[in-house]
Structure 1
């Protein structure tokens, strides 16, 4: 009488909103205040964020799950834009989607012909003006992407991320007084999370 038992009901679709919660869940380790504000903007609870991340992790680990590229299309829909991309000797395709939380950015997936994903992160939206990056004071959380920091403070040295979806860069940049300092920056899903001065570069 009551319909299909709860245990047998099909799971609700994993939506673009839920995917934004997945991004936020990883960023909360470094910037809980920013994540809290974003969560309130989306009108969701902490439980919603945790549940979305739990479902995403289950999708990643499922032996019957979709290929990575197909999974993003199923969650985010058709990309807003696609373009061929060459990485060294490898050819792939760039897919980009808008996300309401970051209107000046796009979520980019670099997809191989076989459906594998080589990279997945936030990049500046086409035509959007990147922030001016001149000193360490300009490197505020969520203000810029990996590519933008790498261009502004070249040369940079990649650092091993502390977890999946994290990247690091080491570089020198002037502080507010113009003194060159050695800095390490950490990114989650391609977006700057924090910076720290360090005495090691090479």
Structure 2
């Protein structure tokens, strides 16, 4: 399996050391370490990685601020944020800033490894995103209503999109061809008048479609 080089930011040295050791055995190499967002940004100015994994809450420059700074300087490296259930507002800021994924801090090393490999391939992992903070943040109005009603199948696919599933995984879950799922996703984006899956899920949650 191809090895992946990542940057890891966490203010707890023991957490960084533990993750480094566990991920190394799964084919993920931590080549950049940082105790906060400022150190992460400094390190990434001279060292390229395939994925950035960062705690969302750190002293000084946190994960979201570091992500925003990366994007502002033109660095499109995929970012996975490690979060807790009470970070919903920060998660929405991270979506706006351009995060590719979120993962709970108590996730298994295998789940983290899978998330890293998926975002390295260009996928987006939206889970977990709490629904009520999304609805309060994105107050869509009548003119934002879907162009057409959603079928039961489209709602099922939207829920899987919200869980961070890829087209291939959705196809496997619903016993559909991957091309069929791709067509469904295109129709969903059109009905919600959005250009990407992340905005589609946020809008669907806000409009109580899912």
TM-score, structure 1 length as denominator?
0.29
TM-score, structure 2 length as denominator?
0.29
